[in-house]
Structure 1
Amino acid sequence: MIRLLLALAATVGFGLLLASCNTLSKEECVAADWRVIGESDGAAGYEPQQRFAAHAKSCERVKIVPDQTIWFQGYQTGLVRYCTPLSGLARGQSGGGYANVCPPETASGFLRGFNLGAKQHGLQERLNSMQNDYSSKETEIDELSDRLKDAKDGDRSELRRRIEDLEDDMHDIRRDQRDVQDDLDRVNEDVEWFQRNPSAELPAPGY
């Protein structure tokens, strides 16, 4: 009986996993406006071949074949909205990737924004990671300090040494945080400038 329940649970879980991979529901396939769907996909920056193939796979369940020509016309329209400098900035800031979908005439502007946003995102992530590390060591010091109160003489020196090592680590983290924060402040200034002047090159080199 237990084996049967486990098998059923595994089957249901696998079915849910497959369902979660579908880009469109059965109802969406039946009612699909492929131009609108294509435009939405282009505006989101999806890689076209993979995205359309995923739609086709989703709609096999109801024996519907997507209209690739109409979908691609919509995709091209959406791509115009996606391939802008400010869209690239937002994509980079979100930590998302880039599927190399923008045509040459708009790719450079998109990538200027994308690279700047990605740098801002990366620096913020580093700061967050440092703060988490600092808080973790702070908690560990509190725990060691509590143990120190009731420790035997033979253990006290070892506990103090571990606390001192953690305090040294925290000092190093704070120093590195200041450096990263300085970098982030400069990038934030560049982002503000870029938002006002999305079509111009940044005055500072390197992005």
Structure 2
Amino acid sequence: MKLLSIPLLLLLTACNSSPELISKDRCGTEDWKSLGYKTALNKKSVKEFDSVKLICGQKVAANVQELFVDGYSDGLIKYCTYETGFNTGKQGLALGKFCPPELQKNMMLGYRRGKQLRDQNQLYIEEEKRISQGLTTQNGLGNQ
């Protein structure tokens, strides 16, 4: 039993850990603003930079965190929009609480509108299906 639990524990640990943002060999050459931007677009916390500091250690220049945060802020502005909310709602996906409150409000408006449109489309499809089934049954084509 003990032998089975070790591989399972390793598998669960691997599933729960997030991939590193950066490898140690890129610490001196990374485009930090771009990395921050991509981090935000991937809906990850700005605190992901803490792992960068652990990986890179002394190889991180003094202004790196500022560049990362600038890029991260740009990524939030790009992601946390009415359009993203609308598309998320229209697809029937859940909208997380990733965006800061000042951007979340507009995103939620889009989400509600997209979800409303999706719900209306679903009702239309269900009604068409009922009508189609009703006509099929009335014409004697159903239950053959």
**TM-score (normalizing by structure 2):** 0.56
Larger Rg: 1
Other-structure match for 1:35: 33
Seen in structure 2, the aligned counterparts of structure 1 residues 25 and 41 have a Cα distance that, compared at 3 Å, is closer
Q: Could you say which residue in structure 1 is the equivalent of 2:75?
A: 78
- Of residues 166, 173, 181, the one that matches 2:123 is 181
Distance 1:27 1:90 in 2: 37
Matched with 1:97 is 95
- How far off its partner does 1:71 sit? 1.2
- Output one character per residue of 1:77-115: Cα deviation in whole Å (capped at 9) or x when no partner: 2223223322221122341324263564x6554332111
Structure 2 gap ranges (5+): 128-144
Q: Which runs of 5+ in 1 are unaligned?
A: 128-179, 186-207
Match of 2:134 in 1: none
Q: Which position in structure 2 is the counterpart of 1:60?
A: 54
Structure of higher RCO (CA pairs closer than 8 Å, 6+ residues apart): 2
Cα distance, 1:85–1:29 mapped onto 2, change above 3 Å: same
Q: Using the TM superposition, give the Cα deviation of residue 74 of structure 1 relative to its aligned residue in structure 2, in angstroms.
A: 0.8
Which residue of 21, 24, 34 maps to 1:24?
Answer: 21
Please state if 1:117 is matched with 2:114: yes
Q: Percent identity?
A: 18
Equivalent position amino acid for 1:16 in 2: A
Deviations 1:131-183 (A, max 9, x none): xxxxxxxxxxxxxxxxxxxxxxxxxxxxxxxxxxxxxxxxxxxxxxxxx6149
CA distance in 2, matches of 1:113, 1:71: 28
For the 8 Å contact 1:43–1:80, the answer to whether it is kept is: no
Q: Distance in 1 between matches of 2:60 and 2:46?
A: 11
TM-score under structure 1 normalisation? Answer: 0.43
